[in-house]
Amino acid sequence: MIRNRVLFVLAAAIAVAALALPFLSFAPNRLLSGQGIALAAALEMPRGLALLAPGAVLLAVPFLRPSRGATAASVAAALLVGAGLLWLAGLHAAELAATAPPAARTSFGSGFWAMEAAALLAALDGARRLGLPAPGRIALGLATALLLAAPLAAGQLDQLSILKEYANRRDAFSDAVLRHGAIVAAALVPTLALGLPLGVLAQRRPTVGRLLFPVLNIVQTIPSIALFGLMLAPLSALSAAFPSLGIAGVGMAPAVIALTLYSLLPIVRNTAAGLDGVPEPVREAARGMGMTPAQLFLRVDVPLALPVLLAGFRITLVQAVGLAAVAALIGAGGLGAIMFQGLFANALDLVLLGAVPVILLALAADALLRLAEALLPLPGGRRAV
Amino acid sequence: MTRPMIAFEGVTKRFGSWTAVDGVSLAVEEGEFCVLVGPSGSGKSTLLRMVNRLAAPDAGAVRVAGEDIAGLAPEALRRRMGYVIQSVGLFPHWTVARNIATVPVLLGWPRARVRERVDALMRLLNLDPDRFRGLYPHQLSGGQQQRVGVARALAGDPPVLLMDEPFSALDPITRGTLRTELAQIHRKTGKTILFVTHDMDEALALADRIAVLEQGRLVQHATPREILTRPADGFVRDLVGREEWGLKRLAVETAGERARPDAPPPSEQPPGEPLPGDMPLRRALSEMIARGVDRLPVMDAEGRPAGVLHLADLVRS
């Protein structure tokens, strides 16, 4: 009898993908499409046990009586499957590379992606079932990151196509990462400088909020490519009129302006919502005790609104990391540039070299700010950590 | 002649076309416990909030210790007045001790003095400092929260305490206990207290003088006994309530006041534990019924015989 349907479906998906979908794809060079290689080919014994053993646990747990121990075992097994897949992919790619010409490429196949995704979902679902307190969740997140990063750091994945692409443009890649971060950071400065005061104003003057929020909502619905495009004309005109400003219709300036426009909504909205959430009796008491408006704001309003403010900042940051990739279309550079280069050259691994770091950056930003939120004193003064 | 601690001089406050307070003149003497009573919308809270400038009068003036407060900085004025509201409004991100220390910290007291003051106030409000100092408001019961609210209001040792329906949200037992404690605190500290309530029984139990408000106008300003025996009009009479009027009447007078002073010879002294002289007559009646007697000895504050209270004396007005 199946006791845990979610885990059963995920484990079954892994099993089906292992049998039916290509684990890796091998091509004579980076532009040709490859031929599939089944997982079985990479599962030499005894190293295959590293994958088969946790895989068997994952398949067995859905039939066990639900308990914390079983759930914990499923989380551990899912993470080991996830790491084992990476490790085996790297090892087999190295074996293939040993006998193939230098131009040959081994990339992840659809089976790898399906199994990796199902394994991580199973780990996530199990972690939620465990209901760990914040320190446990943070530790588990770090352990997952380390487990998956270890084969990468050890150079075991170097023969995979995506890392070969990386090796070919190591300098361009680190420049792109820095550039990506610079675009996001440059957008956050005006976002916070404008968004925080606007949020305070929108909360204190409902008329301002009624005018401001529809505008910001509409901006948010404009597709990013269209907004970047809309920046071109006015900025080109501006740079033609005042060449000394050093602004151009393409590049950093329109990217930063567009990102700022997108980022304003979550910041303004959460600032206003956070301040709205401060109980009126508390503010009344603070005034009655003789706090000046500045003391009321800094000692009462800000600390009580901080969790919501921080959540707004997290949404903004994650969104900006993603949107900055699109800004490459108007010449802003960053990881998006690598992605589009791959798209136009029909080189899937180059696309991944741009896209995967964007996802990882967004996940890291999200995790870091969630950690900050967890470290904040709760309204009751306790800390989640 | 003593100068009133709080004086309203022809104070009017309008909100749009609605007149919340309409030409009220009222004086509260130093050390007096004055209760503003009236139904909701009678302007009693607005009147109170004009004392610490949370509301500003449209006409007339409010004086505190003789000074027109319109000329004072509102923050400095508020730090000289305790303020307690029905919803308490404790700062949820601060501990009990930090909450109580709000005004001393704003006044820039040295740390050791703040700590001493906080502990003293927690003891005054029957909150064990060691147990409650580090707790957060959400860990307290409603009654404990309001105790902290009162302690916070007293922290700067203000001469005036403003209380806006402080006990209305509490259960009847807690409300009764806190009322008794507030009366004791008033006796101990001699603060001038301006207290708003819609509950006439609360007003009768606490006040030196009651100011009855109706639709922004002052209808009567008198002692509880006068309010009961000589209500200004039908409105005040209705507010007091006809039900149990006699018992309320007994509640505002003490056993010592009605006892027959010439003590009888010890042989004719009625038996039983003597009543303290400051016991309200209502409780004295309850004692007589409980003990099944129609006469009880009364003692003064030092425990000396102070006469005999007869059941017949209770109905004499």
Encode pLDDT of A162-193 as tens digits: 888 888 888 889 999 999 999 999 999 999 99
Residues of B in contact with A382 (CB under 8 A): 136
Please report which confidence band the pLDDT of residue A333 belongs to, taking 50, 70 and 90 as the band edges: confident
The residues near A343 (Cβ < 8 Å, ≥ 6 apart) are A351
A380 Cβ under 8 Å from any chain B Cβ: yes
Name the nearest CA neighbour of B252 among B201, B194, B309: B201
Please report which confidence band the pLDDT of residue A16 belongs to, taking 50, 70 and 90 as the band edges: very high
pLDDT at A222 over 90: no
Which of A30-39, A145-154, A269-278, B37-46 is least confident? Answer: A30-39
Q: Locate tokens 């089976």: which residue? A: A111
Select the residue of B75, B85, B139 nearest A285 (Cβ to Cβ): B85
Q: For helices A110-130 and A134-153, what crossing angle results, to 10°?
A: 160
Q: Say if pTM beats, i.e. exceeds, 0.90.
A: no
* Interface residue ranges in chain B relative to chain A, Cβ cutoff 8 Å: 52, 54, 74-79, 83, 85, 87-95, 102-103, 106, 136-139, 149, 152, 162
| Amino acid A238: pLDDT | 80
3-class SS at B25? Answer: strand
ipTM > 0.90, yes or no: no
**Pairing mode of beta strands B67-68, B217-222:** unpaired
DSSP secondary structure letter of residue B274: P
Can you tell me the mean pLDDT for A298-312?
A: 92
pLDDT at A377 over 70: no
Name the nearest CA neighbour of B298 among B268, B266, B249, B258: B258
B235-269 pLDDT per residue, tens: 998 888 878 888 888 888 888 888 888 766 666 67
3-class SS at B216? Answer: coil
Min distance B13 CA to chain A CA atoms (Å) = 19
B213-228 pLDDT per residue, tens: 999 999 999 999 999 9
In this prediction, what percent of chain A has a pLDDT beyond 70?
96
pLDDT at A209 over 90: no
pLDDT at A200 over 90: yes
pLDDT at A201 over 90: yes
Task: Please give the distance of CA A163 from its chain centroid, rounded to a whole number.
Answer: 20
Per-residue pLDDT of chain B (317 residues; tens, 9 = 90+): 468 999 999 999 999 999 999 999 999 999 999 999 999 989 999 999 999 999 999 999 999 999 999 999 999 999 999 999 988 889 999 999 999 999 999 999 999 999 999 999 999 999 999 999 999 999 999 999 999 999 999 999 999 999 999 998 889 998 989 999 999 999 999 999 999 999 998 999 899 999 999 999 999 999 999 999 899 998 998 888 878 888 888 888 888 888 888 766 666 677 788 888 888 888 889 889 988 888 888 888 888 888 888 888 888 76
Phi, psi angle pair for A384, to nearest 5°: -75, -25
B172-216 pLDDT per residue, tens: 998 989 999 999 999 999 999 999 999 998 999 899 999 999 999
A298 Cβ under 8 Å from any chain B Cβ: no
DSSP secondary structure letter of residue A298: I
Please report which confidence band the pLDDT of residue A253 belongs to, taking 50, 70 and 90 as the band edges: confident
Please report which confidence band the pLDDT of residue A249 belongs to, taking 50, 70 and 90 as the band edges: low
What tokens does A280 get? 């009126």
What tokens does B176 get? 């009764």
Residue of B nearest to A285 (CA): B89
Please report which confidence band the pLDDT of residue A382 belongs to, taking 50, 70 and 90 as the band edges: very low
Q: Locate tokens 């408006």: which residue? A: A293
For residue A123, the surrounding DSSP H or E stretch is helix A110-130
A288 Cβ under 8 Å from any chain B Cβ: yes
Between A235 and B108, whose confidence is greater?
B108
| Amino acid B196: pLDDT | 96
Whether B293 contacts B316, CB under 8 Å:
no
Q: Which of residues 325-354 of A touch B (CB under 8 A)?
A: none
Please report which confidence band the pLDDT of residue A383 belongs to, taking 50, 70 and 90 as the band edges: very low
pLDDT at A378 over 60: no
A62-113 pLDDT per residue, tens: 998 888 999 999 999 999 999 999 999 999 999 888 888 888 889 899 999 9
The residues near B265 (Cβ < 8 Å, ≥ 6 apart) are none
Please report how many Cα atoms fall inside a 13 Å half-sphere around the Cα of residue B99, on the Cβ side.
32
Which of A146-160, A367-381, B11-25, B79-93 is least confident? Answer: A367-381
Whether A354 contacts A325, CB under 8 Å:
yes
Can you tell me the mean pLDDT for A337-341?
A: 91
When scoring B46, B91, B98, B136 by the number of chain A Cβ atoms within 10 A, the one with the most, hence best to mutate, is: B91
Min distance A380 CA to chain B CA atoms (Å) = 6
Can you tell me the mean pLDDT for A252-279?
A: 91
Question: Rounded mean pLDDT of chain A?
Answer: 88
A44-58 pLDDT per residue, tens: 888 888 888 999 999
Name the nearest CA neighbour of A36 among A101, A103, A114: A114
Residue of B nearest to A383 (CA): B93
Interchain contact, A291 vs B136, CB within 8 Å: no
DSSP secondary structure letter of residue B254: B
